[in-house]
């Protein structure tokens, strides 16, 4: 990600002011080319397909196949096998549900009637080579899921430390546990509500924030994201007013080409407007221009 800010033709006081040249303010994450990925993808996922085939041969039913997968202790392998299972046996079952080891019996009870019969699964699996390049390429897409978001927060944390050396920024820079609002405000009504980072100065809270990289988002997804943010912002600001925390700010760091889709940019601009100066929406390239000590402490 390159985060050099474009030249600014004039003062911009809101996220909406950047709309006319929005593409210049987006940070694009790197990607990988097809079919260049295939050798590495096949090497990584061949053991997964081999093990799936071994379990498949000794399973008397598709439900038994799934239960056997769930018994594996190695988390990474179990998740990959669950993804293969979904492709071959139960494409309508959410992958996040299949990854839940403790819910295996419930899943079989609720979705088992829709599982593809085991003989058809075996026939379909045997019709494909090992490694199956097509399936390995699909699995490869999951490998770096979330990586762009991790890259975004890592670069943001580094940028803030250079730009605002008096500010302490806390939170998971890459993978890790989110900060729960209950750890900041013990009396908050939803103590397990997660935020991605907090700003402090001399142990005093300055801001709480959310960070997301939108590589490709539109339609219902964009409505869910911005709608959720509106709800979170309204709730947090209401609590801050009730507790006389009037200086606490909210920062929404969002980046990626998904911001250019549909009404996303306008929706984020509207989100900023409801805060009466206490909400900041920005991309990485806007950080040094928009997030200032003057704003944080005002």
Percent of the chain with pLDDT over 90: 62
DSSP-assigned beta bridge partners for residue 231: none
Residues 164 and 263 in one domain: yes
Residues 161 and 133 in one domain: no
Residues 150 and 137 in one domain: no
- Whole-number pLDDT of residue 55: 98
Please choose, from the candidates 264, 284, 4, 256, the residue with its C-alpha nearest in 3D space to the C-alpha of residue 146. Answer: 256
Specify if 150 maps to a domain: yes
Residue numbers of the domain that contains 263: 146-297
CA distance 165 to 161: 5
Residues 226 and 269 in one domain: yes
Contact 293, 206 (CB under 8 A): no
Predicted confidence (pLDDT) per residue in 143-193, tens digit = 877 678 888 999 999 999 999 999 999 999 877 888 999 999 999 989 999
Residues 82 and 174 in one domain: no
pLDDT at 6 over 60: no
pLDDT at 125 over 50: yes
Lowest mean pLDDT among 48-57, 131-140, 208-217, 253-262: 208-217
Predicted confidence (pLDDT) per residue in 203-239, tens digit = 899 999 999 888 765 544 555 567 788 888 999 988 9
Tell me which DSSP letter residue 69 carries. Answer: H
Lowest mean pLDDT among 28-32, 247-251, 266-270, 289-293: 28-32
Residues 134 and 153 in one domain: no
Residue 105 burial (CB count, 10 A): 13
Contact 279, 45 (CB under 8 A): no
Specify if 184 maps to a domain: yes
Predicted confidence (pLDDT) per residue in 46-81, tens digit = 999 999 999 999 999 999 999 999 999 999 999 999
Tell me which DSSP letter residue 212 carries. Answer: E
Integer angstrom CA distances of residue 92 from 83, 87, 97, 107: 12, 9, 11, 12
Give how many domains the chain has, as a whole number.
Answer: 2
Q: Crossing angle of helices 104-111/62-70, nearest 10°?
A: 160
């Amino acid at each position: 990600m390159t985060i050099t800010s474009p030249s600014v033709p004039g003062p911009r006081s809101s996220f909406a002011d950047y709309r006319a040249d929005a593409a210049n303010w987006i940070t694009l994450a790197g990607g990988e080319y097809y079919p260049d990925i295939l050798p590495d993808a096949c090497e990584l996922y061949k053991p997964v397909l081999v093990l799936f085939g071994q379990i498949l041969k000794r399973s008397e039913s598709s439900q038994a196949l799934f239960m056997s997968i769930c018994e594996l202790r190695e988390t990474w392998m179990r998740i990959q096998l669950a993804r293969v299972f979904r492709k071959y046996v139960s494409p309508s079952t959410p992958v996040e549900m299949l990854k839940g080891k403790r819910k295996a019996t419930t899943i079989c009870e609720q979705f088992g009637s829709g599982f593809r019969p085991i003989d058809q699964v075996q026939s379909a699996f045997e019709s494909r080579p090992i490694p199956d390049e097509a399936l390995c390429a699909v699995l490869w897409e999951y490998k770096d899921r979330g990586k762009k978001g991790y890259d975004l927060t890592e670069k943001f944390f580094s940028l803030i430390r250079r730009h605002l050396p008096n500010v302490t920024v806390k939170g998971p820079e890459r993978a890790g546990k989110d900060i729960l609002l209950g750890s900041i405000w013990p009396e908050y009504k939803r103590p397990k509500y997660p935020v991605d980072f907090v700003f402090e100065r001399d142990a005093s809270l300055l801001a709480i924030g959310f960070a997301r990289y939108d590589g490709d988002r539109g339609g219902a997804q964009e409505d869910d994201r911005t709608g959720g943010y509106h709800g979170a912002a309204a709730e947090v600001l209401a609590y801050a007013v009730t507790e006389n925390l009037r200086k606490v700010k909210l920062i929404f760091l969002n980046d990626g080409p998904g911001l250019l889709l549909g009404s996303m940019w306008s929706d984020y601009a509207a989100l900023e407007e409801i805060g009466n100066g206490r909400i900041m929406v920005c991309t990485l390239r806007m950080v040094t221009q928009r997030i200032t000590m003057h704003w944080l402490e005002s």
